[in-house]
Structure 1
């Protein structure tokens, strides 16, 4: 039983999966998408779902600091619906406020170059989203 964590952006989706026991999250990859043209990377997500035998999704839900839902939050809600319709698996929205900022801060502290940070930031944010969810369950 593995859970997939997703950090959905307008150009990429960061992907993380849990270990088989559901204790730790590992970053897998960043899937390129084109939100404007209706390309959401579902084909690649489907390959990963099959490869890792995913039984549940956790999608980052970027609420505003005042707890309202803006355009990015609505995009996550739409992605959740797309996943439910495509895979017929449970999909949870997980509050991810400040997750990307925390991931970037961690990478800066690890002295990762700006170019490299840009390549891994979404995957790192997906790990943080999934790990937060896993920690809340245990």
Structure 2
């Protein structure tokens, strides 16, 4: 079974900023892309769709915070509404993905890379989006392994 691969865009929605990450063309490796300033749901969705089209992505993954009971919290519901706004503006599939712990994972990664504490204080929205995206890509590949050869 062959699965179409291509670039995937991940979105880490926040109160003030939205982190974006993009995969390589094979949909295997996540890389931080950029950080958008939150404007409004409709404007944010339009910006995300425009970036997705510019990069030729085949899927958009939205990080969604879920509570311990598995239900979306306040930010998770905001992520759902952003996903709906994006879906209304594009035919590109939009997937909600559990983002639990992505910011902490990004923080720990910067620490392991030897980034000084004073430099770790800034926003990490794009790195958190890369963590979300890599998690999604890894799980997708465990379900549909990439065929060698």
Superposition TM-score tier, normalisation by shorter sequence: 0.7 to 0.9
CA 1:110/1:71 → structure 2, altered by over 3 Å: closer, same or farther? Answer: same
How many pairs were matched up? 136
Which of the numbers 25, 33, 45 marks the counterpart of 1:28? 33
Question: Is 1:15 the equivalent of 2:31?
Answer: no
Tell me, in whole angstroms, the C-alpha distance in 2 between the residues paired with 1:44 and 1:101.
26
Question: Is 1:51 the equivalent of 2:51?
Answer: no
Unmatched tracts of structure 2, length 5 or more: 1-5, 142-149
Larger Rg over CA atoms? 2
RMSD: 1.9
Structure with the largest fraction of helix: 1
Question: Is 1:68 the equivalent of 2:65?
Answer: no
TM-score by length of 1: 0.87
Secondary structure of the residue that 1:87 maps to in structure 2?
coil
Tell me what 2:8 maps to.
3
- The structural deviation recorded for 1:66 is 2.8
CA 1:115/1:54 → structure 2, altered by over 3 Å: closer, same or farther? Answer: farther
Tell me, in whole angstroms, the C-alpha distance in 1 between the residues paired with 2:81 and 2:34.
21
Tell me, in whole angstroms, the C-alpha distance in 1 between the residues paired with 2:23 and 2:122.
21
Tell me, in whole angstroms, the C-alpha distance in 2 between the residues paired with 1:23 and 1:46.
21
Tell me, in whole angstroms, the C-alpha distance in 1 between the residues paired with 2:32 and 2:60.
14
CA 1:81/1:101 → structure 2, altered by over 3 Å: closer, same or farther? Answer: same
TM-score by length of 2: 0.81
Tell me, in whole angstroms, the C-alpha distance in 2 between the residues paired with 1:27 and 1:52.
14
Tell me, in whole angstroms, the C-alpha distance in 1 between the residues paired with 2:76 and 2:20.
18
